Amino acid sequence: MRVRRQMSKTVSGDVMNQSSDQGAALNLTTQQALESQPLAPRFYCTDYKAMEKIDIEPVRAEWDLMMRDFELDKNRGHFKQNYEYDPSILESDPELKAEFLDLLVSSITAEYSGCVLYQEIEKNVSNPEVAKLMRYMARDESRHAGFINKALNKLGVAVDLGVLKREKEYTFFKPKYIYYATYLSEKIGYARYITIYRHLERHPEKRFHPIFKWFLEWCNDEFAHGEGFALIMRSDPSLLSGFNKLWIRFFLLAVYSTMYVRDHSRPKLYEAFGMDVTEFDYTVFDITTEISKQVFPLTLNTDDPRFRAGLERMRELQEAREALEGQRGPVAAVKKLGCVIGSGMTFARLFLLPTIPNTIPDQVRMQPAW
């Protein structure tokens, strides 16, 4: 269920509320962030009363260690650093600039979505353990969103985060869906950032923008946020068993397929990195799958040729659907419907592929190993 909500204009931490007189570029970029496209990041709300019942005592030792790390706030000054950049560097390749801007706008929407969700949970729960965790994670996501907006400003655009918070459509998710989806979002975010960072370490000549130098600390924040949701899920074994295994399978497939289709819509970006986009995606899947074994009772077999063919089919259908954008009339409508139905059927076939069972270990990995 999607809802519209009028929310406070207050923005925490380093996130800047851009004024409306910054011109058409700002308005267009904000509008892009507001659009509710199928593959675009969403804003979420949830059942806050249900989150009051979270009991972290079964994972108390790991929880306290994690919270001490959050309290240390090792990246306190990292995202306050500045850099010089000549935006004309990207003018020679308009396609690359467009895809890079699309990446930044998608990233700021995702980061700020997390910030707003965590703020709202903190504000609406009295459970002190949950509220404190959400406050720390909102702090981090706020810094990330603010830093991306600084990067956008240097390119002559920005996202009005105050407008984004007030006007973006909100999707209601039950708490357990928030846990599954956000855990995977944070962990796959870690895997993406660390893969790009390590690649550009080996090939610094491909680092066409300085923002990539910030990815190491950035991805460590993402990893830590995932640990928070891992411990919440591990505190309640029912979230990881029975019928909920089907929801875990669903969210794994939804996150992986969305990433695959979205990344393949940015070919110039990965060409500029000197990376094969398909190889990049499956490297990210491998890292995320390995991490998710700490909490999920199953993983997807991403090496299965049927899985790979299915993702490629979903990419082709999305590409065909986008080619029909703006076309009117019954023929175009039938073609669009065919793409939607085809995507749904492909997703269903992927969902029914065999998964790999996993025995959940006694403890989570508190620090990244990649």
- Asked if the structure places residue 352 within a domain, the reply is no
Query: 40 falls in which pLDDT band (50, 70, 90)?
Result: low
Structure confidence at residue 156 (pLDDT)? 83
Buried b (16+ CB within 10 A) or exposed e, 34-52: beeeeebbbbbbbebeebe
- Asked if the structure places residue 336 within a domain, the reply is no
Structure confidence at residue 14 (pLDDT)? 39
Structure confidence at residue 15 (pLDDT)? 39
Query: 306 falls in which pLDDT band (50, 70, 90)?
Result: very high
**pLDDT(264) > 50:** yes
Question: What is the full DSSP assignment across 138-163?
Answer: HHHHHHHHHHHHHHHHHTT----HHH
**pLDDT(370) > 70:** no
- Asked if the structure places residue 369 within a domain, the reply is no
Q: Which residue has the higher pLDDT, 21 or 76?
A: 76
**pLDDT(199) > 90:** yes
Nearest Cα neighbor of 216 from 75, 364, 63, 332 is 75
H/E segment holding residue 356? strand 355-357
SS3 367: coil
Query: 8 falls in which pLDDT band (50, 70, 90)?
Result: very low
Q: Which residue has the higher pLDDT, 72 or 75?
A: 72
- Asked if the structure places residue 128 within a domain, the reply is yes
Spatial separation of the C-alpha atoms in residues 176 and 147, rounded to whole Å: 30
**pLDDT(38) > 60:** no
Strands 355-357 and 298-300: what pairing? antiparallel
* Residue span of the structural domain in which 195 resides: 2-304
- Asked if the structure places residue 359 within a domain, the reply is no
- Asked if the structure places residue 98 within a domain, the reply is yes
Structure confidence at residue 19 (pLDDT)? 40
- Asked if the structure places residue 321 within a domain, the reply is no
Mean pLDDT, range 7-34, rounded to an integer: 47
Q: For the chain, how many structural domains are there in total? A: 1
Query: How large a percentage of the chain has pLDDT more than 90?
Result: 60
**pLDDT(332) > 90:** no
- Asked if the structure places residue 368 within a domain, the reply is no
**pLDDT(270) > 90:** yes
Q: Which residue has the higher pLDDT, 261 or 165?
A: 261
Q: Whole-number mean pLDDT of the chain?
A: 86
Spatial separation of the C-alpha atoms in residues 208 and 197, rounded to whole Å: 12
- The pair of structure tokens assigned to 303 is 């090496």
Query: How large a percentage of the chain has pLDDT more than 70?
Result: 87
**pLDDT(232) > 50:** yes
